[in-house]
Structure 1
Amino acid sequence: MLLLRTLPGVLSALVIAAIVFTLECNAVRGILPVYGEDNSIVHPPNPPATNFGRASTSAPSLTLDSFITQLSPLRIDRLQARSSSYYHQLPLHQNVPIINIQSGGQLVEQALKDYGTVVLVDSINRKVKRIDFQTGQFIQHDVQNPNKVLLLSSLDPNVHTLRRHLQHVPEDPHYPITMPSPVNTDHLPHLEGVPVLPEGHDTLGHMLYASVNGEESFWLVKHVRMPVEVRPNIEDYVAEAGSQAGDRIRSLLTNYAAARNKYSSAAMAGLLHGKKISVDPNLRDQRVDSMRQNSYLELTQGASRSNMINALQQYGQFHYYDMYRTSTGPFKVKLDNYRVDAPDAHMSISVRELHFNPSTFKAIADKFRRFRV
């Protein structure tokens, strides 16, 4: 009876010991992370192996030649063909897919099955080769303009999806994927009418809007050596900025970020550095009267860029209050050319700080908090 009563406890202890042993072995092999006493990871888990059994962290040592030797004609022959939309995130060079070898062998072999040729990119060593698959053999060729191929390969894959989409509109508006709704870019910094898409504002929706409005182009600045202008509706659709344009874009982004911080408002930053705004000539008389009477609207950081534009169109000015930072401001935002009535004139806007005594500013702030203007 004693044996029967203690057997379940013994079995439980054995199971727990087996689990602990397994976890320790896995940790040693790198399958699980090993934690220190302060819960920090002492040894992180090993990365998963790639298609050829090579850990992804060792990928930088992979060269074009060693990558090609691991491709299998037998595997390629056994693959099922896929449609061209499968490759919508890949750039093309003379209608041949460009693939970074860090993407792995499976994608390359599938492309060789479907196209018979691919352009391989080693972005680490900045090498490019074209590979033809013929009668079970891989034939290598040099590529013209390898720098352009490297540039195309380095871009956000959404750029290539966008280009494929625009090439098929309006015949197939859902090719190669159902596109997101366009996201307005007018409030983002602009260089000569072309929006600069900062990180976080460079989604496929932003790209789509910029490609079908205004100059039908945009600047990308994330993960590129120099800003890149993308004009997806033309054949040679990407180009790196020259040094002068690159300096101007960096300065523009700095000023845009500084304005956002100074006024605690993306709308104010967009008003000053976004797309140029046409002056409405039909509202000239109203603006002149309002300026003569010193009439103006009072806006806070909750106002949108459209609210601010409308205030300038109608009144020629507005007062801006930053309710988060009462140590600065308020500010008077003025349309300097409020008298203009030319149909092609753009707004010239100036901002200056007003100096109110603390009690006056407090009364205004209380009013905004009470009525949530």
Structure 2
Amino acid sequence: MGELELDGVTKIYDDAQGTETAVDSVDLTVRDGEFVVLVGPSGCGKSTTLRMLAGLETVTDGTIAIDSDEVQELAPSKRSVAMVFQSYALYTKMTARENMGYGLKHSSTLSKADRRRKVEEIAELLDITELLGDRPEEMSGGQKQRVALGRAIVRDPEVFLLDEPLSNLDAKLRSKMRTELQRLQEELDVTTVYVTHDQTEAMTMADRIVVMDDGELQQVAPPETAYDHPVNEFVATFLGSPAMNTFETTVRVNGETTSFVRNGTVFAELPSSAVSLSNGDRVTLGIRPEDATLDTDGDGTFTASVTVSEYQGNDNFVHLDVGDVELTTRVPPVVYPDAGDDVGVTVSPEDVYLFDIDSGRSIKTRGLTDSEPSIRTPPSTD
């Protein structure tokens, strides 16, 4: 078992310059065997949260429990957690075998023979048996990371913590290690909390993602739910590459059709039954780059001027100007207009996103009917 529960967990730093709330009243339950990813911009509090789970940072307020047993006052070695760091943190004078077995030597009653056997079992699982006699200086970055993972796994922790473990690897190796980590986590069935600023890692690896900003949880949901049904504008614009286009518009209601207008240009239209808005309301319109359809003949809901077309291989990023609005679109590689061309742009009503201008809360997400995604709404900003 390894259910992890955070209840009102808060971290406040206090120094001569004053106080700073790094993590603000985080409530989160990670189910036994679940792979949860904390994601957000630098300084959002995700690594501080992980370090509090590990016992490397004290908790200012709130509780942390593993299988209902509170651990926030326990030393790291008493928490049944294992952490993998971004920097590998291997002992340079020890071999891979010694690095992996060091924690067992000091935290278990296993005999030397049993420790050796366990290290060899995990080395085989990680495909690093041939490295057991090597020191870190003889290893590549990917090999060092496998040894660091092995050192954590060999302890059979109830909770596995990973702090941006792939950030030092090149793009090809990161992709491979993402797959390896998912395979390992499923095979070991260990509760895992993974921290990253890389949304690709978050979206591809997580059972649920935890989006954080300014120390607060913004949304906790499966990746596809957070992407299609963000609770607010921050989540919507943080998830996705290129980022969602957002800009303020005025509502125009004309019978059964509601339009969203800026400087005389109608950017999108919805059935009036899809939203509860009044004529003259101001809302933020959101358009994901992949949801904009381009027509080089100029047919569409509105017309835009091409500024740059960027070839990406599988698709193209086409940047557009519409008056004072700049849009980025993601289109198939066969669509490659030249700079200066006028194109028609259409966004399906199902793909229109709307946000409250003042609070940023979502008014409408993907689809035309109400959905009930598995989300946690952030505290009111009123």
Q: TM-score range by the shorter chain?
A: under 0.3
If asked which structure has higher relative contact order (CA below 8 Å, sep 6+), I would say 2
| TM score, norm. by length of structure 1 | 0.24
Larger proportion of helix:
1
| TM score, norm. by length of structure 2 | 0.24
Larger proportion of strand:
2
Rg larger in 1 or in 2? 1
